């Protein structure tokens, strides 16, 4: 489930996994796979001595809200239009509450997710820019205080809400957290 996070540019914004069977994240109307986000975070941290560090990751943007769909309606199975609705048509919300856990194998559904989002959004190279002197991280037009961006990283590390199934993190998440810890990166949520 995406959660609300503070941004300095747009107030509270939605970020997170939106279906437990996929490794795709949303940030308002931007969509990208979690491994690409983790790799971009590591690349930012590796440039941490620079006053301004920037990296790119592949993703998608859906500009029309109707094309995005309705997350809460899709979870309930009553509004299955748009990208999110089609995702829930393929991967319905589990009827058993104990099955509501983020799956660490979400990347296995990547080709299906790529074909779904191609119908609703457009590919976009997404820029992440860390301005060390200002303690901000920008993801396209969304600007976060460094400590708030660290919350996004912590969210991915724990598998969002409802957390990783059996507390098993995908390799790309473990790698990101290890590299951030080894470098004592200020991007870690303390």
Does pLDDT of 2 surpass 80?
yes
Residue 117 confidence (pLDDT):
97
Q: Average pLDDT of 120-129?
A: 97
Residue 52 confidence (pLDDT):
82
Does pLDDT of 106 surpass 90?
yes
Domain boundary assignment for the chain = 3-182
Q: In three state form, how does the secondary structure of the chain look?
A: CCEEEEECCCEEEEEEECCCCCCEEEECCEEEEHHHHHHHHHHHHHCCCCCEEEEEEEEEECCCHHHHCCHHHHHHCCCCCHHHHHHHHHCCCCCCHHHCCECCCHHHHHHHHHHHHHHHCEEEEEEEEEECCCCEEEECCEEEEHHHHHHHHHHHHHCCCCCEHHHCCCHHHHHHHHHHHHCCCCCCCC
Residue 97 confidence (pLDDT):
83
**Residue 141's pLDDT band (boundaries 50, 70, 90)?**
very high
Q: Average pLDDT of 119-133?
A: 95
* pTM, rounded to two decimals: 0.94
Does pLDDT of 78 surpass 70?
yes
Q: Average pLDDT of 61-73?
A: 94
Residue-wise pLDDT tens digits, 150-169: 999 999 999 999 999 999 99
Does pLDDT of 11 surpass 70?
yes
Across the chain, mean pLDDT equals 94
Does pLDDT of 14 surpass 80?
yes
């Amino acid at each position: 489930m995406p959660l609300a996070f503070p941004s300095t540019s747009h107030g509270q914004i939605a970020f997170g996994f939106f279906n437990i069977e996929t490794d795709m994240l949303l940030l308002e109307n931007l969509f990208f796979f979690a491994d690409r986000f983790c790799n971009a975070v590591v690349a930012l941290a590796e440039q941490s001595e620079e006053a301004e560090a920037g990296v790119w990751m592949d993703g998608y943007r859906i500009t029309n809200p109707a094309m995005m769909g309705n997350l809460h309606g899709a979870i309930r199975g009553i509004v299955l239009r748009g990208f999110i609705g089609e995702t829930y048509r393929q991967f319905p919300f589990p009827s058993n509450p104990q099955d509501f856990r983020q799956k660490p194998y979400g990347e296995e559904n990547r080709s299906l997710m790529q074909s779904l989002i191609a119908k609703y959004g457009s590919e976009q190279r997404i820029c992440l820019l860390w301005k060390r002197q200002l303690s901000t991280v920008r993801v396209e037009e969304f600007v976060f205080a460094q400590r708030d961006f660290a919350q996004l990283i912590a969210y991915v590390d724990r598998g969002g809400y409802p957390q990783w199934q059996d507390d098993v993190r995908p390799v790309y998440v473990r790698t990101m957290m290890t590299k951030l810890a080894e470098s004592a990166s200020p991007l870690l949520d303390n």
